[in-house]
Amino acid sequence: MAITLSRTDYDELWQTTNPLPLSLNAQGYGELQQVVPQRLGRGYIHQIQLREINLCLFNYQLHDDLCVAATSQPGRFTSSELGFNLSGNRSGKCTGDNFIEWGTCNEPDDCLWITYANDPVLKVDLHLDSVDGLTRLVTDALDELPEGIRPCIEAREGGWFSEINAITPAMRSALEQILYCPFQGKTKQIYLESKCLELIALKLAQLKESELPVKTPVSLNPDDVDRIYAAQKILEENPENPPSLMELARQVSLNDYKLKVGFKAVFGTTVFGYLHRHRMETARELLNSRRLNVKEVAQSVGYANQSRFAVAFRKRFGVNPKAYLLGRQSG
């Protein structure tokens, strides 16, 4: 079942549940944790106001899918946001996505924001306080961006740029440091500001790389592609005891070099990057089924060490497998 609310009703529901506003100290720093309305789900959104940046940490799960409709009179939509979805499917961004939305555009008449209830939402958003904020923070870096992107970010009005890409390991490390910040007071403020700037730098670097010409180190004929898909099938059928790269290449009658570069060309990741992703997705499906406990799931996807499995699962989905399983059981 899905719940549909107008944007006005949605905002009023949050305001009724969380009547206190964000208050700032003399240095412009403040924190506010808003709980999710009981009608919608459980969890919270934690706002932290830093210099130039409003940092929002989302950690919640909905009871039902939620559709939020825009107003009946759509207008100009302005955004200065970078977001990182560690877990959850919200507003068209899925687990593992990062995005940037920058500038001003016309809001469509049928605009809907959809958040799905099947996965817990764990995400980090950076909202810059003004349209000039990113320009002031990274003026020296703008010249390095691709020509198609730079004018949209520099434009004061009328420009619009949006892009979705994958969260990189470096981004994930910074995100986890934000979510599990060990400091308090002024030290916390400085630490979080530095991590936000690190995420902005990593995103700009990703934008710069996204338009670099793709190098094709080896050509693939149709027979090669068929053999690479055969290798994919072997990996998926043996997640608990996969063959080595050399053995996999032998089984599909390719040399190991062509298998490595061809696999990345076809699937966008390395052989064992794909295997890891498949293991984690399989583990999540097994936890969703509630038939196995965490130890049994770990063994099913090839982890003899439960602690190592827990670390890998949390890096992939932003939540420990035990907490994920308990959330499924109580949902």
Question: Is there a single domain that holds both residue 86 and residue 150?
Answer: yes
CA-to-CA distance for 48 and 245, rounded, in angstroms? Answer: 46
Range 24-31 contact pairs with CB under 8 angstroms and sequence separation of 24 or more: 24/49, 27/189, 29/189
Q: What DSSP letter does each residue of 70-133 carry, written as one string?
A: PPSS--EEEEEEEEEEEE--BTTB-TTEEEEEEEEEEPPTT-EEEE-SSS-EEEEEEEESSTTH
pTM of the model: 0.63
CB-count exposure of residue 167 (10 Å: 0-12, 13-18, 19+): buried
Q: Is residue 118 part of a domain?
A: yes
Q: Is residue 217 part of a domain?
A: no
Question: Is there a single domain that holds both residue 171 and residue 316?
Answer: no
Q: Is residue 215 part of a domain?
A: no
Question: Is there a single domain that holds both residue 64 and residue 105?
Answer: yes
Task: State whether the Cα torsion 304-278-288-86 is positive or negative.
Answer: positive
Domains contained in the chain, number = 2
pLDDT tens digits in sequence order for the chain, 331 residues long: 678 898 889 999 999 999 999 999 988 899 999 999 999 999 999 999 998 899 999 999 999 989 888 655 556 667 789 999 998 888 778 888 899 887 776 665 555 678 888 789 999 999 987 655 555 655 555 566 665 566 666 654 556 777 888 888 889 999 999 999 989 999 999 999 999 999 998 998 888 776 544 444 457 788 888 899 999 999 988 887 888 888 999 999 998 888 888 888 787 778 888 888 888 888 888 888 888 899 999 888 888 888 888 888 887 777 788 888 776 655 5
Domain interval for residue 294: 222-330
Question: Is there a single domain that holds both residue 204 and residue 236?
Answer: no
